[in-house]
Amino acid sequence: MSADGLPERFDVMVYPAAELRGELRAQPSKNYTTRYLLAAALAVGETRVVGVATSEDAGAMLRCLADWGAGVELVGDDAVIRGFGAHPAAGVTLNPGNAGAVARFLMGVAALTTETTFVTDYPDSLGKRPQGDLLDALERLGARVASEQGRLPISISGPVRGGPVEVSAERSSQYASALMFLAPLLPGGLQLRLTGNIKSHAPLRQTLDTLAAFGVQASASEDLSRISIPGGQSYRAGRVLVPGDYPGSAALLAAAATRPGVLRLSNLREHDLQGEREAVEVLRQMGADITREGDTLIVRGGLPLSAVTRDGDGFTDAVQALSAAAAAASGTTTWENVYTLRLKECDRISDTRAELERLGLQTSETEDSLTITGTERIAGGITVNGHGDHRMIMLLTLLGLRADAPLQITGAHHIRKSYPQFFQHLEALGARFDYLPTDAH
């Protein structure tokens, strides 16, 4: 058994839910947890990160920071980090597991070291994801880089110089964030120019927000195409509080919107910088009854939903959850400008289309869009593929909750990457699952 009381590896059997009703506190943000932990390690002194996520991504960051020489202590729900400042250990091999953002953030900071090597035990997932745009930028700054055609395993050695540098933001905003974490520790800082069609502005703003929380000065143009971070700065140790997680919460909100009942979900700041906060407005546009009382959202479910057409680039990590609402809505929903979904743990456009069609839905895709025609009934009674992707597992679970017959999802243990308590939270609302141990990875 794993620490969460579930089998180490398992499929899940999802049973239809007549209603979902109850109160929950949103889990801590995965994106802010990983950013705060890294910034804490880049500070000299002790930082308490209050209320950290328990996801595999957070665990990967903690493990890598400890391997690099940071002091890491878990105290209740908090993490106490004794930072290494601008001097992570040299000659270390880091394994971020399947955590793409963690790997990229650390690759930027690796330019402060000599011979930091990145490996993964997920060669068919993270091992296939592209890192070349970041590596090219680091090489232009003077780093020595060795890789397998821009993919892991990757070795990075500094020193690097500060100054102006371009980095493509076409595939991911994480490359720019990686350089932003590095910039204040370089004597000359960095003047970043982001090229291409910038993806995912919200995570870039979260990185800027993190720098500010740790006393680092930075400035950015309104469109984020130019970011300037002076050098010679230090990260300030102290105490930071992790906000609630909107990407995972989008799945709970969509589940509550598509089943009868009432959900009260707390710990979600109204003016949070997470782009997936937009999921609340998308669901409202579809016809969901969602109101707010301070940091608590109240969903009164079971109302008819209608299709929408939305640019999904600002809330990519909520597209899968919102697709469950689209599958229940009358009409045809299209998520536009979501090409980066193809570069995640699985191809979240083509693989989502395939699983939805197996469940009887009409779908179509283009290179950068996904279209779903809703249906009143999902038969269920089959086994669907989770594709080793936590967001796909969330989508399929939500569909199973309103199917006519139980739905089995393979590889459901991969939910731990971002939301280890996902199934337990839904059980608290009245859902029912069976956990079927499996030897499959």
The answer, yes or no, to whether the previous bond of 159 is cis (omega within 30 of 0) is yes
Query: Cα–Cα distance between 284 and 290 in angstroms, integer?
Result: 6
Q: What are phi and psi of 10, to 5 degrees?
A: -155, 155
Active-site option among 57, 313, 317, 351: 317
Q: Which residue in this structure is represented by tokens 């109302």?
A: 303
Core vs surface per residue 367-398: b (16+ CB within 10 A) or e: ebbbbbbbbeebebeeebbbbbbbbbbbbbbb
How far apart, in whole angstroms, are the C-alpha atoms of residue 22 and residue 110?
A: 45
Side chain identity at residue 342, one-letter code: R
Tokens (6 digits) for 312: 């999904």
Residue 147 CA to residue 144 CA, distance in Å, equals 10
Q: In terms of C-beta density within 10 A (0-12 exposed, 13-18 middle, 19 or more buried), how is residue 156 classed? A: buried
The C-alpha atoms of residue 77 and residue 183 are separated, in whole angstroms, by 30
Asked if 301 and 263 count as a contact pair (C-beta separation under 8 A), the reply is yes
- Concerning whether 439 is annotated as a catalytic residue, the answer is no
What burial letters (b/e) apply to 235-266, b meaning 16+ CB within 10 Å? bebeebebbbbbbbbbbbbbbbbbbebbbebe
Cβ(134)–Cβ(104) below 8 Å: yes
Q: How many helices (H) and strands (E) does the chain have?
A: 12, 26
For the annotated catalytic residues, the residue numbers are 317
